[in-house]
Structure 1
Amino acid sequence: MRTKIRMLVAAALAAGIAVAALAQPAAEKYPRQPIRMVVTFPPGGSSDAVVRMLLPRLNESLGQPVIVDNRPGAGGNIGTSVIAKAPPDGYTMGVVAAGALSANSSLYAQMPFDVQKDLRPVSMLASIPFVLVGNPAVPAKTLKDLIARAKVHPGQLSVAHGGNGTAMHLSIALFSQMAGVKLVEVPYKGSGPAALDAIGGQVDLAMVDLPSALQQIRAGKLTAYAVTTPKRLSQLPEVPTMSEAGVPGYDSTGWFGVVAPAATPTGAVARMNVALTEALSDPVVQANIRNLGVEPTPGSPEELASFITSETAKWAKVIKQSNIKID
């Protein structure tokens, strides 16, 4: 009898283990419901456009719909705060640009979140090159000529940018510091209006993102002095980098990545990273993104975390030296 009981117990235990083993993958499966992707800029912008290009591939890979939720405002702080305060269950993530992840902590006296404590990096998404352009009537035709003219006539050349505290604003600050020039900065609400006023002659120069100026440069309506990236751009191979053109070591690139609430499970972060990497590696998707003037740049969570740390330190120095503050 005891032997029979032991056999029954052993069989029951074995069955229980088998059931548990079968049930475990289902319990750990992610995702099991739609995922909200908060985009910290309005519809139509570069980050929003890139995300929407990725949606078909993401939906297919994840087996659940990814739903875009645009939450713009305060240099990305509003949307990023929504992400930071969301339940850390893997079903809210967000696309956040360089400002909110690296510069805003030095620009704003008070922040509604702490990047290091409240957010978990998921993946780098894309980078956006900037280009320093000018009205063709400006006498200087090269960056070295422009710098020389600015030094002879300090405070006379005006330069537009996409708004106070934006990456374009900080790119101008970095340029002025490294080149040793003083320019009259004119903030605009976005790159598009800044580029248009440079074409119209209301300002001499503009620091804008590539999508806002590419066609006007090609049409000869704007002079392109230099791109802000370490390497030349495939879209403008004839335009030198800042480093090549007279400001050695200059590097300023707009970028955005995907982050999640800090306590989001590792499995969810890893799964989303794989889905994003696969989508960004698709040749058709890459071509569509590059047509926007944006470069797909997938990467691991660890790479994004390291990049955020280095960018935060870099821009903190620039902001302090230029005494830039946002109320």
Structure 2
Amino acid sequence: MHCPRSRRRFAGIAVSCLAFAAASLAGCKQTVSDAAWPSRPIEISCFAAAGGGTDLIDRALAGAMGQILGASINVVNRTGGNGGVALNYVWSNPRDGYTWGGFSESIHPAPVMGAHHTTAKDWHWFMAAGAPDVISVGPNSPYKSLDDLIADAKARPGQVKAAASLSGSLHHAKLLALEKGAGVQFKMLPFKGSQPSNLAILSGEADVVFTSISEQAELLKDKKLIPLAMAEMEPYEFPGLGTIPAAGAQFPGLGELPVQQWLGFALPIDTPADILSKITDAFVKAMESPEIKQLAADTFLTLYGYHGEEAGRRAAEMESAWCWTLYDLGIAQKSPEEFGIPRPDDGEQ
């Protein structure tokens, strides 16, 4: 008579115990998982093409940080959409620390260029290094000086072909600043990164290229690219080539761009704190490694090592200045106001 009731009571107790055990096991599993991170390979989704500055520094960081973290870090080039392909890929993956975005300063205009909805505040930034921009041509170019280039651009408006990486990138902004200062118009040829832009000179696709001196370094050494001027306010001493004059001496508008090149990576802002801490620690140690320091020396990079609040502040300032500049020039597809990005002079960043 009482067996069915006893069985039901026992069954209820058993179910409760199993549920408690399952919950406890799940909790233990989560703790073990976090403590054991990383337990599988990490991917850096680089938004720029292979061979460029972002790709180069990401691969160097992958090697140095992988040794520190005890995990393999692979760099995959996910180009296209003004950085949107890489941004979307990273953003859509789980927040488990296994997918990083390989970015540079050229990612900051992404929201106003229609590439992605996130802004600087939505990411943790790791800014490893950067270099100044240089304006160069091929060895058989008719341009022997910046004056030659400007004179031809004035004589043939919109016909001198210029390669300057992604549309809306820092290199593109340097090109626009020179156009404005010299009163000329180039034919901008957008590419999926700095390396394809440099190679466009070798193939004859472009007449002049605007990329960083680090990204051009090997081609400059081999005399496959000839520098006309730095797209900066200061000249530059390049070993074997002497002093490269500063275009800013003639066109001071180049000094008004409140953006500097940085190369590195980023993670979504809601990455778990314990995982972020491990990544940050590895980044700091990697920046002091002989491998990274030697890379900087070999490729004319200035090491930064910005992360945390410092990198976040710099990212927000560059995003604000750059997005509004592109919007005022009529290049941006959307208004920075749509994303809550203040104007630089609003004092809100």
Same structural fold, with TM-score higher than 0.5 when normalized by the shorter chain: yes
After TM superposition, the structure 1 = structure 2 runs for residues 1-327 of structure 1, keeping only pairs within 5 Å, are 29=35, 31-34=37-40, 36-41=42-47, 42-100=49-107, 102-108=108-114, 111-116=115-120, 119-135=122-138, 141-143=144-146, 146-147=149-150, 150=153, 154-155=157-158, 157-188=160-191, 190-192=193-195, 194-198=197-201, 203-210=206-213, 213-229=216-232, 232-233=235-236, 235=238, 238-244=243-249, 246-247=251-252, 249-251=255-257, 253-324=260-331
Give how far 1:105 is off. Answer: 1.5
1-structure distance, mates of 2:79, 2:272: 26
Amino acid at match of 1:39: S
TM-score (ref. length: structure 1): 0.73
Q: Relative to structure 1, is the Cα distance of residues 43 and 132 closer, same or farther in structure 2, using a 3 angstrom cutoff?
A: closer
CA distance in 1, matches of 2:301, 2:111: 25
Change over 3 Å in CA distance of 1:49–1:194 after alignment to 2:
closer
Q: Aligned letter for 2:37? A: P
Partner Cα separation in structure 1 for residue 205 and residue 94 of structure 2 = 48
Offset at residue 76 of structure 1 (A): 1.9
Native 8 Å contact 1:32 1:64 kept in 2 = yes
Q: Say which SS state the counterpart of residue 238 (structure 1) adopts.
A: strand
Question: In terms of mean alpha carbon deviation, does 132-141 or 49-58 score higher?
Answer: 132-141
- SS of alignment partner, residue 79 of structure 1: helix
How many angstroms apart in 1 are the aligned matches of 2:198 and 2:76? 29
Q: CA RMSD in A?
A: 3.6
Q: Secondary structure at the match of 1:93?
A: strand
Bigger CA drift: 55-64 or 302-311? 55-64
* Superposition deviation, residue 183 in structure 1: 2.4
Indicate the residue corresponding to 1:22 in structure 2.
none
Contact 2:327 2:333 in 1 (8 A): no
How many percent of aligned residue pairs carry the same amino acid?
23
TM-score after normalising by structure 2: 0.69
Deviation string 1:258-303 (CA, Å, 9 cap, x unpaired) is 2212212333323312211211222332212443454432112212
SS of the residue 1:106 aligns to: coil
Where does the alignment leave 5 or more consecutive residues of structure 2 unmatched? 1-30, 335-349
Between the aligned partners of 1:140 and 1:266, the Cα distance in structure 2 is 53
1:77/1:188 Cα in 2 relative to 1: closer, same or farther (>3 Å)?
A: closer
Q: Which letter maps to 1:278?
A: K
Kept after mapping to 1: 8 A contact 2:53/2:194: no
Contact 2:120–2:315 under 8 Å retained in 1: no
- The one-letter code of the counterpart of 1:97 is S
SS at structure 1 position matched to 2:111: helix
**Number of residues paired by the alignment?**
299
Cα deviations across residues 28-81 of structure 1 (Å, max 9, x unaligned)?
746352352332235544323322323343233223443444433322212222
Most deviating of 251-260 and 270-279: 251-260
Mark the runs of 5 or more structure 1 residues left unpaired by the alignment.
1-24
The change in CA–CA distance for 1:31 and 1:229 in structure 2 (over 3 A counts) is farther
**CA distance in structure 2 between the partners assigned to 1:230 and 1:264 by the alignment:** 39
Q: Is the 8 A contact 1:76 1:97 kept in 2?
A: no
